[in-house]
Amino acid sequence: MSDSPISPRIDGDTATYPSGSRLVDSGLVADNAVSAGGGSGSLARGSAASAGGMWMGVSKLPPGHQSVPHHHQDQTSIVCVVEGAMRFRVHGPGGHEEFTAAAGQIAVIPGGLVHEEFNDLDVECVCVVTRNSETPVVRNV
């Protein structure tokens, strides 16, 4: 085995190594890219990476704003709040459920459930989101 470093192939914000390992410098940009499924009202999304049947991206919600009701078909969303806090309203089979995830907490929204996100604070909410599909689906209702 060689001790010399192996250089990656650079394509935009992604460095890809011969092993298939990647380093993505997303800069936590939420630009409503098609690859992220687009936005939902005031909730903006951006893609960071997809591989191995998973997608990971970022979402941002300005202070005092909310998303429109939406779902992700059968894709479960795992939402890690990095900054601020996000209140979730989930339209479950028994009625509306509400809970708030603050920085450092992780919310799990099962696939198919219509939900909305609210930012009740005066600071932007920044989240890292993972879904169990390489191609995220967003259906605003």
Please give the Cα distance from 39 to 36 (Å, whole number): 8
Q: What is the pLDDT of residues 86-138, one digit of tens each?
A: 999 999 898 999 999 999 999 999 999 999 999 999 999 999 999 999 999 99
Q: Which residues contact 94 (CB under 8 A, 6 or more apart)?
A: none
Q: What is the pLDDT of residues 31-63, one digit of tens each?
A: 777 777 777 888 888 877 888 999 999 999 999
Please give the Cα distance from 85 to 124 (Å, whole number): 8
Please give the Cα distance from 82 to 141 (Å, whole number): 27
